[in-house]
Chain A
């Protein structure tokens, strides 16, 4: 192609995307060839068509400075959004590291979504391979938890369970009854009690909890009550029971699976009552209410 021809819209947009998202900054991107050993090299490589010459000279401000405005806006907007959405990771690693972490994340997982709150959906996968997770091995799970909180916050809403409908279920139907769990509920299983970090009330408390954190199997329930997201640790049996209900097992099958799991029979009735009261269980399917 003759280089004096005007760039196509595709060429221009690909070039501008590259120059304002190059993690080295606009000036370096335009003047220095990237090291070919860089991870995510594609983020640094200039497209074939250089479009700098097609930006109007409007003195006294240089073209680079004009492009810098867009580059800064791109990164700042995403950094602000990440800081709000991954608040605990931000507090754990500190401002400078979080900024670098965000830049690295965007190299690995550039946004393809309309809502800026969705950009961090790959945080766990990203942190699994990140150098900071070597010193803070709970970081990937914390990333998964904070993303789960976002999903719970935005989950669809369904009506509360009507208490009268439970009274009308004949005894003979309970065996095959299935429980519909609130779509906002997420069951979080991990090797680190990151729920404790999430629930740390202030920075001092958070630092204490980070210092004391030790790997152990952890089961947490992420739920939404009156629009507010809660994260609470639950015991393994409760977690198993909730996961069976979420998978759609009927009460009869659930009881069969739970039999012999613990020495003492779990207080199922009490748990069911609690989950109905706080909106974890939203509906009970029986033959009667299905017909």
Chain B
């Protein structure tokens, strides 16, 4: 059996690490390009607006592209919605892909809006056979439109549905098999959901087909008190916490070397702090895989 990332063409070299590209770091990256680093850009941040696809952001991305590999990560594909895929969105995504030539493109296994509205949030799906069929059909259509295979990420969840017929890991695995897409495994999201919904994160990892895993995400989360308990919130606003590092080690043991990326989206620190997190991931990967 192939191990993780082998299903994708042109994987990165094993010494490279990925960092989420965010505007406050543009200058630091351009002035002193970090070695052995690739970047993941949020696709929507570089799509521009309806009548314009230029501006500083895309120009900076093109400059960074000269020194580093780029992957694109979307947040508005809305693959789990009952809505038809948005042609406008896909055309803009396709145009961005043609311009940036990312190593791969990913989005989330969730829904973000319905009836034409975009809620700009990653919302959970019921894991039923009906939904499985629907999402597989949409992914196949989108991959055909874009002319490339995509990766889909497990999202953090704060609730589940009674009428789900399978676990999330079963749903994710089956989606990847039937739609022939990759999995972007977010270790922090698995941890957050496991605490919020009460499952064993190792069971999750045990059921993911290694050959389908093309990328790993690591990030920090926060703790929110409610009137009746605490919830973990996927805030990406702090360093990766120890339990997530520990789960990452377990993932590497199971999947081998996988391109790994650190996300940090709020309370963004100096670039050196983000890079140090990347270095930690690189070291753990080397020691474990």
Binding site for B on A (CB under 8 A): 6-10, 12-14, 16-17, 20-21, 53-56, 58-63, 65-70, 73-74, 77-78, 110-119, 121, 150-151, 153-157, 183-184, 224, 227-228
Contact = CB atoms under 8 A, between A and B. Distances in A.
B162 A54 contact: yes
Given A9-B125, A14-B115, 14 more contacts: A12-B126, A17-B113, A21-B119, A54-B163, A58-B159, A69-B158, A70-B158, A78-B120, A111-B117, A114-B88, A114-B92, A116-B120, A153-B55, A155-B51
Contact of A55 (B45, B116, B162): B162
Interface in B36-81: 44-45, 47-56, 59, 76, 81
A67 B124 CA distance: 11
Which one of A9, A54, A150 has the greatest number of beta carbons of chain B within 10 Å? Answer: A9
Interface of B: 44-45, 47-56, 59, 76, 81-82, 86, 88-89, 92, 111, 113-121, 123, 125-126, 128, 130-131, 134, 158-163, 196-198, 224, 226-229, 231, 233
Contacts of A73: 121
Contacts of A153: 55-56
28 contacts: A6-B126, A7-B163, A9-B82, A9-B125, A13-B81, A14-B114, A17-B114, A54-B126, A54-B163, A55-B160, A56-B197, A59-B229, A61-B228, A66-B158, A69-B224, A77-B120, A111-B113, A111-B119, A112-B117, A115-B48, A115-B49, A116-B44, A118-B49, A118-B50, A150-B49, A153-B55, A154-B48, A156-B48
B82 A155 contact: no
B162 A112 contact: no
Contacts of A112: 116-118
Contact of B76 (A74, A114, A228): A114
Contacts of B128: 6
Given A13-B82, A69-B224, A114-B86, A56 B48 contact: no
A114 B118 contact: yes
A56 B159 contact: yes
A68 B130 CA distance: 27
A interface, over-half SS:
helix
A151 B51 CA distance: 8
Contacts of A227: 55-56, 59
A151 B49 contact: yes
Contacts of A14: 114-115
A17 B52 contact: no
Contacts of A62: 226-228
A121 B134 CA distance: 32
A110 B198 contact: no
A59 B224 CA distance: 15
Given A17-B114, A55-B161, A74 B119 contact: yes
A109 B75 CA distance: 20
A70 B92 contact: no
A56 to B, nearest CB: 5
A138 B149 CA distance: 50
A56 B134 CA distance: 22
Contacts of A117: 49
Closest 9 CB pairs of A and B: A227-B56, A114-B76, A155-B52, A157-B54, A13-B114, A154-B48, A60-B229, A66-B159, A154-B52
Given A20-B119, A21-B119, A65-B227, A113 B50 contact: yes
Contacts of B161: 12, 54-56
A58 B162 CA distance: 10
A153 B49 CA distance: 9
Contacts of A67: 159
B50 A70 contact: no
A57 to B, nearest CB: 8
Contacts of B59: 157, 227
Contacts of B134: 9
B199 to A, nearest CB: 10
